[in-house]
Amino acid sequence: MKKLFVLIALILPMGLMGQKPPKPSIPKAEKALWEGQLGEAKGIIDITVESEKYASNAKAWYVRGLVYASIDTSSNESFKALVDNPFETAVASFDKCKEIDGGKSGSFINAQDGFPLLESQINPNFAGRYFNIAIALYQDDEDYNGALVEIEKVLYFLPGDTAVLLNAGVFFAPMAENWDKTIEYITAYHMAGGTSEDSYLRLFSVYREEKKDNVKALQVLREAKKVHPQNTDFPKYELNIYITEKKYEEAKKMVQDALAENPDDWESYFLLGQLHKELNEPMKSREAYQKAADINPKNFDVAAELANSYWLDCKVIKDQMGALGNSKEDLAKMKKLDAQYVEKLNIYLPYIEKCEKIEPDNLNVLYPLLSVYQDLDNTTQIARVKKRLKALGEDI
């Protein structure tokens, strides 16, 4: 047994000594790459670019970039273990190739059939590989930071692709809570001609909520309104900023300019109602909501605000009633106020019923409506609304 061990010990060094180190060769590196032998390809191409003969050969550096990018996108863990940060080496190799070539060549490598492969063919292929990795990290692993790293690799190969920039800016960067990257990607997307509404909403949200920069947020909204004049949300957000910052004159001018251009613009009347509501001008607010409702009677938000303006009249009286005691004088006041309350409720009722017609399953409508019917002692309607609430799963 001891002799056998000595024999093996002697044979192993001899076997290792028989393995010749690879020689510099671009064709052999290419061949190994196409055959999927990435370890062999790496060994050959590393020696090749280090050699005096090929150190300034653009194709050698390009093939090296392909080898390292292939290692980075491989699912084979043994290949991935060959080197740390293969993408960095791939990028450095591609950059070296460009530096040497100076943009003169359109192709540095041939396909297995011998035909030249253009960068415009190779880059989308690698971009697709990295995108699949990014999607898996994003959707399956919920590793949003890791997914963002991979989507940046996609953008290296397709730097001006609007679809990738949109996904990077609207989904990948925000989920990683990288707000600077979100701004960078969406800005690049817009500069590349992208016009998605979601991109403007995301950019506005980042400036408004994360960066606390209302000046930039307003700039985004103004640009968004130019690109998407039919979008009804952008003006609301703009008005909201004006109101939040108490820039009431700017808010009023914005709405008035819109109405001057289009007197039948119900959204502008709605916004005007919101402005008057903020300024505690209930009658002007109601008037604006009514005009909006006349133009668009099926809009729930308009109907709800109009109904609420009438409910506030009821609430004033109800609060007064709640403040009374049990004295003879208070009971007399209660009787008088109750009559006024019923009168106001009957004015309010058609407006809240209108809301129910628009959204019959809206709990924020059904419960107030039930309360009105109870205060009016309308047993038939009380039973109807309770039945509806139970059908919607409410315990009542």
Return the pLDDT at 309.
98
pLDDT of 391 strictly over 90: yes
CA neighbor of 372 nearest in space, from 362, 385, 359: 385
Half-sphere exposure for 288 (CA within 13 Å, toward CB): 23
- 135-183 tens-digit pLDDT: 999 999 999 999 999 999 999 999 999 999 999 999 999 999 999 999 9
Distance between CA 19 and CA 23 in Å, rounded?
12
- 44-56 tens-digit pLDDT: 999 999 999 999 9
141-to-6, 162, 179 alpha-carbon distances in Å: 51, 25, 21
Q: What is the residue whose two structure tokens read 């509404």?
A: 197
116: helix, strand or coil: strand
> Percent helix, strand, coil in the chain (nearest 5)?
75, 0, 25
Lowest mean per-residue pLDDT among 88-92, 254-258, 327-331 = 254-258
Distance between CA 144 and CA 146 in Å, rounded?
5
| Contact by Cβ (8 Å): 220, 200 | yes
Q: Where are the domains of the chain?
A: 19-114
| Contact by Cβ (8 Å): 202, 186 | yes
Crossing angle of the two packed helices 179-191 and 197-205, in degrees rounded to 10: 150
| Contact by Cβ (8 Å): 45, 108 | no
For the residues of 330-395, what is the DSSP string, one character each?
HHHHHHHHHHHHHHHHHHHHHHHHHHHHH-TT-HHHHHHHHHHHHHTT-HHHHHHHHHHHHHTT--
